[in-house]
Chain A
Amino acid sequence: MTAKSNLEHILAFGQFAVTGELGPPKNGDMEVVRKKARILKGHVDAVNITDCQTAIVRMSSLTAGLIALSEGVEPVMQMTCRDRNRIAIQAEALGASALGIKNLLCLTGDHQKFGNHPQSKGVFDMDSIQLLTMMSQMRNERRFQCGEEIKGPAPSFFLGAAANPFADPFEFRPKRLAKKVAAGAKFVQTQIIYNVDKFAKFMEMVRDLGLDEKVYILAGVTPPKSLGMARYMKNYVPGLDVTDEVIARMRDAKDQKQEGIQIAVDIIRQVREIPGVKGVHIMAIEWEEAVPEIVKLAGLGPRPESQGVEPRLVSKEAIELAVSGAVEQTRASAAQEMEKIKKELQVSTELLAKEKDRAAQRIAVLEKELQEAREMVAEKKSETAILVAELNEAKNLLKNAAAALAAAPVQAQLAGSGAAPAPQIVASGQEAVLSPREQMALNALKQGLSALRKAMNLTEDQFEAIRQFLEAQFVLYLGAPMSVQTAQSIAQPVSAAVMPAPQPVAESLQAAPCVTAEPQKPLEKIETAVAASKSAAGPATGPAAGPVKGLPPCPEGLTPEEWRNKWIIRLVAKASVCLQRGDGAGAKTIFEQVLAIDPQNLRAKSGLEQISKGLTPKPVETVKEVVQEASKAVFEPQPQKAEPVPAPVLEPVKEVVKPEALVQKIEEKKAEPHRPAPVVQAAVQSLPKETVSLADRAGQVSKDMFLEQCSASVRPVTIGDGPKAITVGGANTLPFHLFEGDMPYPPKVAFDVLDVQPDDWPDVLSRHYSDVFADSAKWAQKCVKEYGAEAICLSLVSTDPNGMNRPAADAVKTVKSVLDAVDVPLVLWGCGNAEKDTETLREVTSHLEGRRVCIAPLTDANYRSLGATALGMNLPVVAATPIDVNLAKQLNILLENLGLPLENVLMDPSIGAVGYGMEYTYSVMERIRLAALTQQDAKLAVPFICNIGREVWKAKETKIPSSDSLGDQERRGILMEAITASALLLAGGDLLIMRHPMAVELTNVLIQGMM
């Protein structure tokens, strides 16, 4: 059995096939066939070679077919019964098969009456159906028609037949097709279709007979070349149904040829929709040039590469020519490749040299900084000494004052009022009960303090802190039993207030805890950075760990009180985890830590007591309820009540507005694009903090029922530099499962900034940025300053070759301006065209001046070049793959093979917005994360980056204007973005790219509430 024909391959593969037609010439000119074959090549899967069509003498179909084959075009040889008896037909079949023809279309043939030899004797030894049975017998039974065995290779054609849905009797047409199928037809090409409705009916009957499952049906289409041709076909060609509409279209057309092509395209589009139609047969009669255009316009191009189309009969000369051509081509491409490699080598060498220089410079700078820091420390130490001396002096003064007092008992009522943080109250309370002598001493102290303030040039706050401290000391010396606690409780806020900005004065307060370790920290950091940059191994280490004792520094966005509670919760959870693991000692240590921060903590106490016992749970509301409540608080602030909006307002709202009126205001504001709409920024409340551990909430359920430990962790990846650098990933548990493990770095949100004014953003989104659209730098700045962006994603959409196709040099300018404008981490997102991104991002990265931006997206098409660039400059990258676990893993492996450490890789799993396939995204992300955490799949233990804004704001739901049924457009968009974000956070999203400031805010609130 010979190999399948290309046409059979295509059809068997389920691809929509396209065949063409080539009429051989009425002379012996081979070039005519070649020329026509070249026109059709690549646009069709196979070409019918007609067999003296309409009984006019032409070059035989066998020879013309062989010529077409030599041009690399697969022929469908037509064989009619008009001119040959069974002997001739079988002889031709043997020859055609021997010379590599694989498709045979079996026809009875047009009656000779129509041709140029109407006097000839029509052979009609058999009809088309009998011809099919004969060819099937040769193929399947290897027997000639007479029954004699074919010894040796037998013809094994892919057999085709014709069908005319427009002939009579109509109801018998599908049945006759059934006979052809029974006789062995594997594919069918129909008569030219203009009456699509009738053809659809025919196909319905064909399907009723189940024939669409047994035979590939190709619909016949012919572009009318002129009105005359259309009329001729209508009036003079029997069995052809040309509709009046086609005639009218041709008559009214300005350009008849173009209209003819359009008619063919329209018909192809229509028949393609009919079930059971597996391809089209385009018969551009003596107009082969039309075929490529029709195929293109009908959306059928380009055709898949032909398989196995090789002429068997080739002259030695032709072979030699082909061989020498191939050799030449290979040489040329090899030389080209060589040239390319050389160039790349040179570029990387230069890059390496540059990198070395840059590293050396950086080391020098860091060393200098180190030196300066050391000097500063020394200076500070001496200053501290002076201050301590002064302080001691003041203390002595105080002691003297105290000694001067009689040993009169002091009222203990102070303790009650002293617990309140307001120092004025303390002072006034004191004044009320102090004796005149004490009052004098206190006044003296106050004077001394103001002198000290002037001498040390203290700020109000600092002065206030010292004053409080000293007053506390004063009370202490007076001997009140509760005053120790008072002093401590006062000292705590003092240290918290001073700590974030370490001023030289801060060190003077030696009595305050947490301060002593401070001067050491920057020094350590610089040293670490120098070491890291010397070894060129990785980025400067992330945020340093908090102080060893007690509470780590309070993150932004939380009050110290909240942070303390939160930290306690986390510690208690950790201890519970330890308990779960059976690590009693570990649990004990952590519980003790908790008690060190909060001696009153009941859970820690009971935990310590119950280390070997069971647990006492308390039912509490779930996180879900909290989130619900929060979103309620955001969008439905007491909708029924006529009271004013309560306090939590981020931007000052001058007028007091009712919630209903707020919505109305949005509508009004739309008319004035430049004024910010207060509604959207007004109402985000933070989520209530969860203060009860899961174990408590789980009630009687034992821990092993709900705890699932993971044995691996996601790599942390750092983007950006300096204090604003962000780190994502690092979790050793599923997202927000803080009761099972740790999530050291909360997910982050980056604002999407485009390098050009977007033309498809809905007004409800773009009005927030319309004042900065013209300038990406200002845009980025606005995101940071007004909306508190922690990171920026700069989308280089204008570089898209299918769009504005801006050159890389433009992108460099934009990136530089943005880098100069903001110091938050930057993600550079290319246009998505692999080739152009390589060009743009390579160019851009050579102008980063050491900034650690993240470049995206790296795909399987450009990971090599961009990966090498990232490797050379130690930049984090985004590995983008179509939504699939294996593809994601494969790209990570490829990047690692390239030498790029996965510590510098973020994964973009290709996400969809809610309602746009997000469940698929969710499932893939979840599977990736589970593989990373529970199966220790190190190649997948990489944080996710999700480009949410782009997906959400192109969805039609964000673009449909406000209406009664769909509600307010902006609220709808915000919720769609925020909900997509929240779902993807739960799936494991680590860095989210978003657009609407309100949606970002909601998301950040959610993240904070969940952590």
Chain B
Amino acid sequence: MIIAERKPLNEIMDMLQGVSRLLVLGCRGCVAICSAGGDKEVGILASAIRLGCKNHGLSMEIDTDTYIRQCDPEYLEPLKELGGRYDAVLSMACGVGVNFVADRCENVRVLPALNTSFYGANLSSGEWKEMCAGCGACVLHLTGGLCPVARCAKRLSNGPCGGSVGGRCEIDPEVSCVWFAIHARMQKMGKADDLMNIMPIRDWRTAGHGGPRSRKREDLLS
């Protein structure tokens, strides 16, 4: 799941300077699940902006809506028409949604209300953690299912480094050392010896360093 977080209100208000008609547009995908951009959050944000305008003595007409997803073209069809009526559309989808709106709706000025953070899991209510970096070259089979690319501060392929103390990462005692966990897990599975193999230097092209990534599946193309 993509984890996102709403931008600070002041930043959003700065973005909205000169806007008199605004559509706050939510998404019922990942951001709704991580409580960043679903119906509920759309309502809250709209109210907050109204209050802000009142404080600053501004007048702004604000509408709200939430799409099923902002990352599939069919759901964006209504916006192509509708969007032109607003000075700006404040998207509460992840960065993918904002991009897709901008790509698809020529006449719509789209603004991000969220910071898209990472691919993560919901540890408990209100707590998420990065679990994948989307590097395009998964090595989880070698590391007991725990990702050193996403979860090691230095993205070590052959950890743990000398800063691993008591299962914690040297950069922050709040951060656990994934390599310590990998070692413990591999040991538990009787595969500790596998860690003696040197993981070769990575090819970062699949991680985006080879340019914007795209994917096509011939069988599904229409």
Name A's B-contacting residues (CB within 8 A): 81-82, 86, 108-109, 111, 113-114, 122, 124-130, 133-134, 145, 162-164, 167-169, 172, 175-176, 178-179, 182-183, 191, 238-239
Known contacts A128-B161, A183-B198, then 9 further A-B pairs from the complex at CB < 8 Å, ordered by chain A residue? A111-B170, A124-B154, A126-B201, A127-B156, A127-B159, A130-B198, A145-B201, A169-B160, A169-B164
- Judge whether B157 and A111 touch: CB under 8 Å: no
Within 8 Å of chain A (Cβ to Cβ): is B78?
Answer: no
Bound-state CA distance A178–B166 (Å) is: 22
Chain A CB count within 10 A is highest, among B162, B183, B199, B202, for: B162
Q: Decide: A130 near B161, CB < 8 A? Known: A168-B166, A168-B180.
A: no
Q: Collect the chain A residues with CB atoms within 8 Å of residue B19's CB.
A: none
A167 and B163 contact, Cβ closer than 8 Å, known pairs A126-B201, A133-B201: yes
Q: Is B221's CB within 8 Å of the partner chain A?
A: no
Residues of B within 8 A of A (CB): 153-168, 170-172, 177, 180, 183-184, 192, 195-196, 198-202, 204
Do residues A172 and B183 form an inter-chain contact, with CB atoms below 8 A? Answer: yes
Nearest residue (CB) in B for A173 is B162
When the two chains form their complex, are residues B165 and A238 in contact, meaning their CB atoms are under 8 A apart?
A: yes
Top-5 shortest CB links A-B: A164-B162, A238-B170, A129-B158, A127-B156, A130-B201
Please tell me if the beta carbons of B163 and A179 are within 8 angstroms of each other in the complex. no
Find the A residue at minimum CB distance from B202. A126
| Chain A residues near B166 (CB-CB < 8 A) | 168
Which residues in A have their C-beta under 8 angstroms from that of B201?
86, 125-126, 130, 133-134, 145
Q: A167 touching B165 by the CB < 8 A rule?
A: yes
With A126-B201, A127-B154 given, is the CB distance from A172 to B170 under 8 Å? no
A133 to B165, CA, bound (A): 26
Partner of B163, one of A126, A129, A238: A238
B161 near A108: Cβ-Cβ < 8 Å: yes
Most buried by B among A114, A122, A124, A133: A124
How many angstroms between the C-alpha atoms of A105 and B183 in the bound complex? 26
Distance of A114 Cα from B158 Cα, bound (Å):
21
| Shortest distance from the beta carbon of B167 to any chain A beta carbon, whole Å | 7
A172 touching B154, Cβ below 8 Å: no
Q: Could you list 8 A-B pairs, sorted by A, with CB under 8 Å?
A: A109-B154, A111-B154, A127-B156, A127-B161, A129-B157, A168-B165, A169-B164, A172-B160
Query: Please, how many angstroms separate the alpha-carbon atoms of A126 and B156 in the complex?
Result: 7
- Cα A176 to Cα B192 with chains together (Å): 12
Q: Which of B154, B171, B196, B202 contacts A179 (CB 8 A)?
A: B196
The reply to whether A168 and B154 form a contact with Cβ atoms under 8 Å apart is no
CB B81 to nearest CB in A, in angstroms, measures: 41
Q: How far is the CA of A167 from the CA of B180 in the complex (A)?
A: 10
Q: Is A176 in contact with B165, judged by CB distance below 8 angstroms? A: no
Please name all residues of chain B whose beta carbon is closer than 8 Å to the beta carbon of A122 when the two chains form the complex: 153-154
* B165 near A182: Cβ-Cβ < 8 Å: no
> What is the bound-complex CA distance between A145 and B172, given in angstroms?
33
Are B202 and A175 neighbours in the complex by a CB distance under 8 Å? no
Of all chain B residues, which has the CB nearest A162? B162
Contact A179 B158 (CB under 8 A): yes
Residues of chain B contacted by A130 (CB below 8 angstroms):
157-158, 198-201
CB atoms of B157 and A127 under 8 A apart: yes
Contact (Cβ within 8 A) A169 B180? yes
From B157, B159, B172, contact of A126 by CB (8 A) = B157
B171 touching A113, Cβ below 8 Å:
yes
A178 and B193 alpha carbons, distance in the complex (Å): 12
Q: Point out the residues of chain A lying under 8 angstroms from B183, CB to CB.
A: 169, 172
Q: Give CA–CA (A124, B158) in the complex, Å.
A: 12
- CA–CA, A344 and B171, complex, Å: 72
Tell me if B153 and A179 are in contact (CB < 8 A).
Answer: no
- Residue of B155, B177, B198 touching A129 (CB-CB under 8 A): B198
Q: Which A residues lie within 8 Å of B168 (CB)?
A: 238
Contact present for A175 and B195 (CB under 8 Å): yes
How far is A411 from B155 in the complex, measured between Cα atoms in Å? 132
Interface centre among A86, A162, A167, A168 (most CB of B within 10 A): A168
B165 is contacted by which of A81, A82, A113, A239 (Cβ under 8 Å)?
Answer: A239
> Closest CB-CB distance, B52 to chain A, in whole Å?
29
Task: Judge whether A133 and B154 touch: CB under 8 Å.
Answer: no
Q: Whole-angstrom distance between the alpha carbons of A183 and B202 in the complex? A: 15
Is B154 a contact partner of A108 (Cβ separation < 8 A)? yes
B158: chain A residues at CB < 8 Å are 127-130, 176, 179
Known contacts A86-B201, A126-B202, A133-B201; A239 and B170 CB within 8 A of each other: yes
- Give every chain A residue within 8 A of B177 (Cβ-Cβ): 168
With A168-B167, A239-B164 as contacts: A182 and B198 at CB distance below 8 Å: yes
A124 to B156, CA, bound (A): 8
B contact residues around A167 at 8 Å (CB): 160-165
Q: How far is the CA of A130 from the CA of B158 in the complex (A)?
A: 8
Q: How far is the CA of A111 from the CA of B158 in the complex (A)?
A: 16
Contact A178 B162 (CB under 8 A): no
Point out the residues of chain A lying under 8 angstroms from B164, CB to CB.
167-169, 238-239
The residue in chain A whose Cβ has the minimal distance to the Cβ of B158 is A129
Residues in A with CB closer than 8 Å to B200 are 130, 133
Residues of B within 8 A of A108 (CB): 154, 156, 161
Once the chains are docked, how many angstroms separate the CA of A178 from the CA of B158?
A: 12
- Report if A191-B162 is in contact (Cβ < 8 Å); known contacts: A133-B198, A169-B180: yes
Question: In whole angstroms, how far apart are the Cα atoms of A169 and B192 in the complex?
Answer: 12
Tell me the minimal C-beta distance from B63 to chain A in angstroms: 38
- The interface residues of chain B lying within 8 Å CB-to-CB of A125 are 201-202, 204
Q: Taking each of A127, A128, A176, which has the highest tally of chain B beta carbons within 10 Å of its own beta carbon?
A: A127
Beyond A127-B156, A130-B201, A175-B195, is A111–B162 a contact (Cβ under 8 Å)? no
- Chain A's closest residue to B155 (CB) is A124
B153 — which chain A residues lie within 8 A by C-beta? 111, 113, 122
A145-B170 Cα distance, complex, nearest whole Å: 30
Query: Which residue on chain A has the smallest CB distance to residue B149?
Result: A124
B48 → A minimal CB distance (Å): 29
* CA gap between A81 and B157 in the complex, in Å: 12
Q: For residue B184, which residue of chain A has the nearest CB?
A: A169
> Given the complex of chains A and B, what is the CA–CA distance between A238 and B160 in angstroms?
13
Task: Determine how close the nearest CB of chain B comes to the CB of A177; give it in whole angstroms.
Answer: 11
